[in-house]
Each structure stands twice: as structure tokens, then as C-alpha cells.
Amino acid sequence: MSAFGPWERVLLLLVVAVYAGFGLGIEGFLSPYALADSTTNFSEKGLLALAMALLVIAGEIDLSVAATMALASLVMGLVQQQGASVPAMMAAAIATGAACGALNGWLVTRLGLPSIVVTIGTLSLYRGLAMVVLGDQAITGYPEALSFLGNGTLADLTGIDSLIVPIEFLIWVVAALGVGVWLHATIYGRRLYAIGLNPVASRFSGIAVQRYRMGLFVFAGLMAALAAVLLTGRIGSTRPNLAMGWELDAVTMVILGGVAIEGGRGSIAGTVLAAVLLGGFTFALGMLNVSGIVMSMVIGALLIGAMVLPRLRRPGQRLQAA
């Protein structure tokens, strides 16, 4: 599977068009500080999208990633209240994310349940736990070192004022490069495409299909936990509605990025470009004071369009009547 095909080139053109268009229409949109600030719109969500892309390519999905973020942030906050250090807080969050992903994977691989049904259930479970424990309260008072991860820049690390690239954006870029190399340049990535295209044939060819699926769900939990650490550090608090609705954004990035919802096709480059496109677009709408409801409508429309357009482009494909 090509890492940069025709759809990725279309997305690249759209990214250029969106940033150029809003740059001409909104004063200051293309300033270095605005561009750096815009990365907060997609860096954390982009971590979710990287794991989601792998799952969808394998023919699975995880709709509990945003709820996992809330639960990981909660555990991190509870550990912080006991006087734990920042490394211990982060370890608690990562362990929580891994456990949430492992539960999803166990239910799918051992009990044979559909991942969409399982993760809708665990979405309610994980989010419900956070809401029951916190109620209408919030955990605050996180140490400065944690805030640095979510709000710091390269300038803070190097002392060079012009390097205003956010640290969490760099973390996302490194993660994207690592996932991209794994998917497109290793035998494991080729096996993942095979699983998505035909899991039965893959099993008979000697691929440990269930082991791959379990690993992908655990990885999704780990990425959700990492995103929770960054988001909690950035906003400085843990709330039960943390990252509410982000699973829709992650799925939109993946599908808009060209990953086939039925599995077996897609690229990390497309997912990355879709994340940048969606992040820049919503950041511009925010600068125009567009309401959150309208942004949700736009994201929903993009998700539907991203699923419909590839089918209309396939030769001989026809929409089936009900």
C-alpha cells in the first residue's frame, strides 16, 4: 500500500488552499504565533487518529478513546492528590490507558464481540466512571512540569525565542513518523493490511490475527493516555467531560485521510494531512467566532462526505437503493 497516493495529493492541495484562503481572509491567521497556536487543535486528537487509523485498516474501530482519556486523566489526578511525582502520574495514566485498551481487545479477540459494540459500551463505562468519581468537581493544582508538556515550546527548551514550535506538536510528529514507518516499511504493516482485507485468509497464512488486534487496542489505549497527559497539562485540570466527542474527530481524520472504513486500505500520511486540514479549518472558524455547534455540523458533514466520495469515484460503483 502506497504511503502517498492520489488522495494524499488531493489532501495536500486542500491543506494549502485552506491555509492560503483563510490567510488572505483573516488577519494574523498565518502569523507564526497563530500557526503554532493552531497545532493545539489537532496534536492531541492526532495521537488518537494515529491509533484509530491502524485499527480501521485492520477492520476494527475504537470509539472509547476519548472516554479513555478522561479516565486516564482522572487516575493521574487522584495519584497527584496523593503527592506523587510527575513521572509517577504519567505512569499511572499510561497504565490506565493500556488497561482500558486491553479490556477492549480482550472482549473483541476472546469473546468474538464486534469492536464497534464493545467500544460503545466501554465508552459509556469509562466516561461514566469519571463522572461518578468527579461529579461536578474538577482536579486542579497540577505541577508546572506537567504544564510544560502541554504548553511548552522549543524556545523554552533551547532559549531561542524564534523556536515557538509547541512540544506536544513535536511529540505528535515523532509518533506519526514512527507509526508511518511501522505501517509502510515493515512486514508487520503489510500483515495489518492483509488482516483488514481478509482476516480468515490471513489466519490460514500463519498471521496471528488476534494478537495483532489485541496489540492495536492496547496501542489505542496508550495513545489515548498520552493525549490525556498532554491535554491535562495544557488546560491544567481534570474534568469528567474532558475530550468529550473527540472520538468523532479522530474517526473523521482517519476517514477523511483516505482510510477505508471496511479496512485494508489507507495511509498514515493521509491521516496526518487530514488532521492538519481539520485542525486548521476549525481553528480558522474559531477565529471567526463560529459556534461549537456549527463546527460539529461541519465535522459531521466532512465525515459523511469522506465516506461517500471514494465510492462515487470508483469505476462502475453505483449507489444501491434501499
- 155-206 pLDDT, tens digit per residue, is 988 888 888 999 999 999 999 999 999 999 999 999 999 999 999 999 999 9
Please report, for residues 55, 151, 167, the alpha-carbon distance to residue 278 in angstroms, rounded to integers and kept in the order given.
Answer: 20, 21, 20
Provide the CATH number for the domain around residue 267.
1.10.3470
112 within a domain of the structure (yes/no): yes
Number of domains in the chain: 1
Task: Assess whether pLDDT exceeds 80 at residue 96.
Answer: yes
* Buried/exposed code over 142-174 (b: 16+ C-beta within 10 A; e: otherwise): beeebeebbbbbbeeeeeeeeeebbbbbbbbee
Entry pTM: 0.93
Whether residue 316 lies inside any domain: the answer is: no
Is residue 318 included in any domain, yes or no? no
Contact 285, 277 (CB under 8 A): no
Kindly state whether residue 321 falls inside one of the protein's structural domains: no
**CA-CA-CA-CA torsion sign (152, 70, 280, 267):** positive
Q: Which three cell numbers stand for residue 19?
A: 491555509
Rounded CA-CA distance 57/61 in Å is 9
Provide, rounded to the nearest whole percent, the portion of the chain with pLDDT above 70.
95
Q: Confidence class of residue 292 from pLDDT cuts 50, 70 and 90? A: confident
215 within a domain of the structure (yes/no): yes
Q: Is residue 146 part of a domain?
A: yes
Residue 317 resides in a domain: no
Domain that holds residue 201: 6-310
Q: Is the pLDDT of residue 320 over 50?
A: no
**Residue 148: inside a domain:** yes
Cell numbers that stand for 72 in this block:
486516564
